[in-house]
Amino acid sequence: EAEEVYCIGCGAKIQTTEKDGTGYTPQGALDKGLEKGEVYCQRCFRLRHYNEIAPVSLTDDDFLRLLSQIRDDDALIVYVVDMFDFNGSMIPGIHRFVGDNPILLVGNKDDVFPKSMKRSRMKEWLKQQANAQGIRPIDVLLTSAKKPDEIETLLNTIEKYRKKRNAYVVGVTNVGKSTLINQIIRLNNGTQDLITTSRFPGTTLDKIEIPFADGKMLIDTPGIVHEDQMAHVLTGKDLKYVSPQKTIKPKTFQLSDQQTLFFGGIARFDYLRGHGAVSTYFENNLMVHRTKLANADEFYDNHVGTYLTPPDEDGLEKLPDLQRHELHLENRSDVVVEGLGWITVPEHSTVAVWAPKGISVVIRKPLV
C-alpha cells in the first residue's frame, strides 16, 4: 500500500478519490507535489494561490473530535449566523461543544436588509432570538461578508473579547463563513504566512488558522450541515436563484381570506381566515403569484416547473412534495420558511403555509 501523505497546509491525510472530502488532491497535483516534496490538498492550494477557500465535508467522527477540542480550549467562540435564515443557522446542541467559552454572535448578510431598518432593533431582535434558543452571547454584531469595511469592525470586536486567547469561528454551511474568512485573509494581505505549516500526522482535522499578533489563532472550523437546509431540496442553480444577493424589497399584498400566494413553485401561502396587509420577504427575483385558493391545487399541478419556477425542470425532480402547515396566529407574526424567506401576517389570522417536505416552517416575533 502507498505511503500515507499529509497536506503540509492543514495536516489532512491526502486522498485522491473524494472530491468534496478532506485532503482531496487531484492525482496529477499529488504527483507533482511529491516530486517537489511539498504536497498541499486542493483546499490549501487554492487558499495559497487564489485566496479562496473551497468547502469540504467532514464525517461526523472527525467533526466531533474537532468540536471537543474547542470545548477543551479556553477560547472565544465566534458564532456566525445568517440574518436571513436565523433558525436555519442554529447549531444543534452548541453548548455541548463550546462548553463555558463565551460566544460572540455575528449576524451576517446584513446587506440583505433595507437601510431603513434600524440596526439597533435588529441587534435586539437577534439577541432575543438567541436567548430563546438558550444562547447567551457576550455581544451581538451585524456584519456583511460582502463589505470589506465591516470586516475591520468584526476583527476589532473579536480582539476586544478574545483577551489573548484563540478564537474559533463556527457556523452551519451557507451562512457566509468562508466568505468572511476570505475577507479576513485579504485584509491580512496575502496568504503565505497564514497557513500553519505544521503537520498533524494521523489526524484529519481540517481547519484554517490565521495568526493574531500575539501568536494565538483565529481558527476556522468546517461548516456544519443543518439537516433541513434548502440545499437538500433544491439544485445548486435553484438555490443560488433564491438566495438574496442584494437588499430585499418586501412585497405587500392586501389579502382577504381564501386567497393564495405562490413563491415560484417552492412554497405556497393560503390565507384561510382574516384579512389585511401581508408582507413577503424573499429574494427579489422570486416570483410571487396570487390566485384563488379554490384553484390553487390544480394551478400548482399544471404549472410547477414551467410557469412556477424555480424549480426548473431539473430541479423539479429533486424537489419533494409541498407539505401543508396550518397555523393560527393571535398576534402579528413572521411565518418563516427556513432558508427561503418569510411572510409577515396580521393578528387574528389563520393560514396554511406549504413548504417542501423536510423544510421547517416556524412562527416568530416580527423582525420588521
User: What residue ranges bind ligand GDP (CB under 6 A)?
Assistant: 55, 108-109, 111-112, 144-146, 171, 173-179, 223, 243-245
Report the alpha-carbon distance of residue 47 to residue 144 in Å, rounded. 21
Q: How far is the CB of 240 from ligand GDP (least distance, A)?
A: 7
Alpha-carbon torsion 130, 131, 133, 134, what sign?
A: positive
* Cβ distance to ligand GDP smaller for residue 33 or 107: 107
* Cβ distance to ligand GDP smaller for residue 144 or 191: 144
* Cβ distance to ligand GDP smaller for residue 29 or 248: 248
* Cβ distance to ligand GDP smaller for residue 145 or 335: 145
Q: How far is the CB of 226 from ligand GDP (least distance, A)?
A: 11
Residue 194 grid cell: 497564514
Task: Name residue, grid cell 439577541.
Answer: 127
Instruction: Classify 233 in phi/psi space as left (phi over 0), alpha (psi -120 to 50) or beta.
Output: alpha
Cis previous bond, 346, omega within 30: no
Cis previous bond, 222, omega within 30: no
Q: How far is the CB of 33 from ligand GDP (least distance, A)?
A: 26
The angle at the Cα of 173, spanning 170 to 178, to the nearest 5 degrees, equals 70
Q: How far is the CB of 111 from ligand GDP (least distance, A)?
A: 5
In the bound state, the residue with its beta carbon closest to ligand GDP is 176
* Cβ distance to ligand GDP smaller for residue 62 or 111: 111
Q: How far is the CB of 225 from ligand GDP (least distance, A)?
A: 9
In which element (H, E) is residue 276 found?
strand 276-281
Report the alpha-carbon distance of residue 202 to residue 164 in Å, rounded. 29
Q: How far is the CB of 267 from ligand GDP (least distance, A)?
A: 20
Q: How far is the CB of 180 from ligand GDP (least distance, A)?
A: 7
* Cβ distance to ligand GDP smaller for residue 148 or 320: 148
75: buried, middle or exposed (CB in 10 Å: 19+, 13-18, 0-12)? buried
DSSP string of 213-228, one letter each residue: TTS-EEEEPPPBPPTT
Q: How far is the CB of 145 from ligand GDP (least distance, A)?
A: 4
* Listed residue (286, 264, 265, 288) closest to 278, CA to CA: 288
The side-by-side arrangement of strands in the sheet containing 361-364 is 251-255, 276-281, 341-345, 333-337, 361-364
Q: How far is the CB of 347 from ligand GDP (least distance, A)?
A: 31
Q: How far is CA 138 from CA 22, 100, 103, 104, 162, in A?
A: 33, 12, 6, 6, 11
Instruction: Give the Cβ contact number of residue 54 at 10 Å.
Output: 16
Three-state SS at 316? helix
